[in-house]
Amino acid sequence: MKSRKPQARKRRASSAPKAVQLPRMAKGHRPEFYEDPAIDQLFAIVTALTGEISVLFDRLDTLERLLIEARTLRADAVETYVPDASAAALRGERRDELLRRVFAVLEIYAARNALSTS
């Protein structure tokens, strides 16, 4: 009896995984770890800020490395930079968006408390 070679499986044309869209808001309530909900709120704010800062540091590190490699950045360029009016306005908008994201947890708690007291 001759042994046959195993045949390779044919791939389907649509073998790529489909993108999964996750909900934008988590279901259920935020976990509460402390008796005072203000401590939980503060903890959530600090956690959100930590995430924002981590991403910011990574992006800043990437930009500095690229600029140094390209030899387009003087050592004192960042410290002596003065933004013009449009750059200052854009920074203000970004700052407002950051604050909105960081303090969103307070809006969630306020809305939940408003529902529970009515």
Work out the average pLDDT over 22-36: 73
pLDDT at 11 over 60: no
The domains of the chain are located at: 37-117
Cα separation, 74 vs 118, in Å, equals: 60
User: What mean pLDDT is predicted for residues 1-18?
Assistant: 61
Transcribe 27-46 into DSSP letters: SSPPP--SSSHHHHHHHHHH
Contact 33, 43 (CB under 8 A): yes
The yes-or-no verdict on residue 1 having pLDDT over 70 is no
pLDDT digits (tens, 9 = 90+) for 65-102: 899 889 898 877 888 999 999 999 999 999 999 888 87
Q: Which two tokens stand for residue 89?
A: 């306005």
Residue 116 has pLDDT above 80, yes or no: no
